[in-house]
Amino acid sequence: MDLFADLWMGFSVAVSPINIAYLLIGAMVGMIVGIIPGFGPSAGLAILLPITFGMDPIGAVMMLAAIYYGSMYGGTITSILLNTPGESATVASTFDGFPLAQQGRAGPALVMQAVASFVGGTIGVIMITLLAPAFSQVARNFGPPEYFLLAIMGLLTLVVMIGANWRYGLISVLIGFALGTVGVDLETGQGRFTFGSAELIGGIDFIPIAIGLFGLGELYYAFYQGLHASGSGSIVQYSKQSRFWPEARDWVETRVTMFRASLLGFVVGVIPGAGATIASLMAYSVERSVSKTPEKFGKGAMAGLVGPESANNAASSGAMIPLLTLGIPGSASTAVLLAAFLLWGLRPGPLLMEQNPEFAWGLIASMYLGNMALLAINIFAIPLFVWLVKIPYRVLAPAVVVVCTIGTFSVHGSITETWLMFVAGIVGFFMRLFGYSPAALVLALVLGPLAEEALRQTLTISRGSFWIFLERPGSLWIIAITIGILLLVPLMQRLGRPPKLDAASGEED
């Protein structure tokens, strides 16, 4: 078959000592930029970009792509251990990853995230291999109406995330929307709530907000609880007795999750602009809503960690599809890759795979190898990371403050954003104290502006008519899928829950 011939050719191009060395360098750099909060893959890519000018394009793209998906592995480590997302795409991994670490299960959580990342990444590459041409059709059907409906689908998951305390949840969402309105309005070019400040015309980025809410907020809360003075003095529990490897139960609970979230992540990743962050947040909500034990989510459910992790890795593979098949970058990181393609004299576009097959298939083949390498690196490095949790709170806390500060500053080199992060930290503490939902705030801040802009673009195009949503095949599909989820989820919960709910609650006691 042509496909295997292509892939074989890709492997034969990718497997050379020098290329493998580049791949490993990329994977390590990716892990490291992933671990540093705020310092994202796009920054890591941009640092190494000038070094690649004189390199062979295939080795260079293997290295750069490995930074991109490698950061998805690394970003979770701080999410789990410090409740500070290392990467915007790993915000969702803090929701259950950190509670797991607090319960003394940091080891299993780290192993499971590495495996979930590997499964997500590998499923993603398999789907690129099999379906790249088909999925380029998905990407090219996405106009403003489809973006709007996608954002609405994402916002529906807020209902799930808010949970029982809906008043507090709703307030959290509204704060997120409000923050999302700051900045120059795309449609009219007018500044909104910028108070004439040039620093705010680009709007409020959600990374400083997320780092503040989760990282610093949690730190203050631990301080408030007196952790610095009590017990082992560690921010999370750790005992020699607790096992390093996941239990059988962890694998059984999450085996479907890994595949479901990988597929979801991949599809969302294909759509330009949606990307790994939205994919992981949506995967979290989907897992929670189909779970037989949704009440465990947020308190250390393994599926709540595995879902977003599989999804963000699959999404980073999915994002390669519009890049390779249409020459359209779906995110900041893939935009840097696109710039690299141009610098190497390649012409991104629908003809890239045809005209430079050894380049495209070499890259795809390298992604299989890169994911394997990252799985190995992760598992071997876990004892090192677990050692981190044994550091007493009084030593760790100042270090976390420093890491959050440097991380936020390094995103745009903006001192205003650094202050925003500190303010968000204080807000995060009070949200935590009074039971508000920082997660809902962050999701609203990400999706609110997306939905607003897409709706206004849509209505400009349709000259005010809402019928456009029913006239386009892409829109109809998304509406159908959304309705399907709305009908199916409660049905599945009703059918699946009663007998197993008892078992689950028994387990919890």
Q: Which parts of 348-367 interact with another protein (CB under 8 A)?
A: 348-352
Binding mask 471-500 for another protein (x = CB under 8 A): -x-x--------------------------
Q: Which parts of 281-320 interact with another protein (CB under 8 A)?
A: none
Residue in 26, 180, 329, 362 binding another protein, rule: CB under 8 A: 329
Question: Beta-carbon neighbour count of residue 457 at 10 Å?
Answer: 17
Task: Tell me whether residue 54 or residue 499 sits nearer to another protein (CB atom).
Answer: 54
68 pairs with which residues across the strands?
none
Residue in 256, 342, 470, 492 binding another protein, rule: CB under 8 A: 342
Minimum distance, C-beta of residue 356 to another protein, in the bound complex (Å): 11
419 binds another protein (CB under 8 A): no
Total chain residues near another protein (CB under 8 A) = 75
Strand ranges in 394-488 using DSSP code E only, listed in sequence order? none
Residue in 39, 284, 393, 436 binding another protein, rule: CB under 8 A: 39
Residue tagged 């935009």 (tokens): 335
54 binds another protein (CB under 8 A): no
145 binds another protein (CB under 8 A): yes
465 binds another protein (CB under 8 A): no
Minimum distance, C-beta of residue 273 to another protein, in the bound complex (Å): 5
Instruction: Identify which of 433, 431, 440 has the alpha carbon closest to the alpha carbon of residue 160.
Output: 440
327 binds another protein (CB under 8 A): yes
Instruction: Identify which of 370, 360, 371 has the alpha carbon closest to the alpha carbon of residue 9.
Output: 360
Residue in 73, 147, 214, 220 binding another protein, rule: CB under 8 A: 147
Binding segment for another protein (CB under 8 A), chosen from 6-14, 164-172, 256-264, 451-459, is 451-459
Distance, in Å, from the CA atom of 37 to the CA atom of 34, rounded to the nearest integer, reads 7
272 binds another protein (CB under 8 A): yes
Q: Which parts of 223-262 interact with another protein (CB under 8 A)?
A: none
Please state at what angle helix 438-461 crosses helix 144-162, rounded to 10 degrees: 160
177 conformational bin, left if phi > 0, alpha if psi -120 to 50, beta if neither = alpha
453 binds another protein (CB under 8 A): yes
Instruction: Identify which of 36, 22, 34 has the alpha carbon closest to the alpha carbon of residue 65.
Output: 22
Task: Tell me whether residue 116 or residue 446 sits nearer to another protein (CB atom).
Answer: 446
Q: Are 413 and 143 in contact (CB under 8 A)?
A: no
Q: Are 102 and 135 in contact (CB under 8 A)?
A: no
Residue in 19, 42, 262, 310 binding another protein, rule: CB under 8 A: 42
414 binds another protein (CB under 8 A): yes
Q: 3-class DSSP state for residue 183?
A: strand
Task: Tell me whether residue 164 or residue 198 sits nearer to another protein (CB atom).
Answer: 198
60 binds another protein (CB under 8 A): no
Q: Alpha-carbon dihedral of residues 33, 39, 40, 43, nearest 10 degrees?
A: -90
Q: Are 283 and 305 in contact (CB under 8 A)?
A: no
200 binds another protein (CB under 8 A): yes
Q: Are 392 and 231 in contact (CB under 8 A)?
A: no
417 conformational bin, left if phi > 0, alpha if psi -120 to 50, beta if neither = alpha
49 binds another protein (CB under 8 A): yes
Instruction: Calculate the CA 346 to chain-centre distance.
Output: 29
Minimum distance, C-beta of residue 145 to another protein, in the bound complex (Å): 7
426 binds another protein (CB under 8 A): no
Minimum distance, C-beta of residue 445 to another protein, in the bound complex (Å): 13
Q: What is the CA radius of gyration of the chain?
A: 22
Q: Which parts of 363-392 interact with another protein (CB under 8 A)?
A: none
Q: Are 244 and 386 in contact (CB under 8 A)?
A: yes
46 binds another protein (CB under 8 A): yes
Task: Tell me whether residue 48 or residue 236 sits nearer to another protein (CB atom).
Answer: 48
Binding mask 117-136 for another protein (x = CB under 8 A): --------------------
Question: Beta-carbon neighbour count of residue 254 at 10 Å?
Answer: 26
Minimum distance, C-beta of residue 303 to another protein, in the bound complex (Å): 29
Question: 348: exposed, middle or buried (C-beta count within 10 Å: 0-12, 13-18, 19+)?
Answer: buried
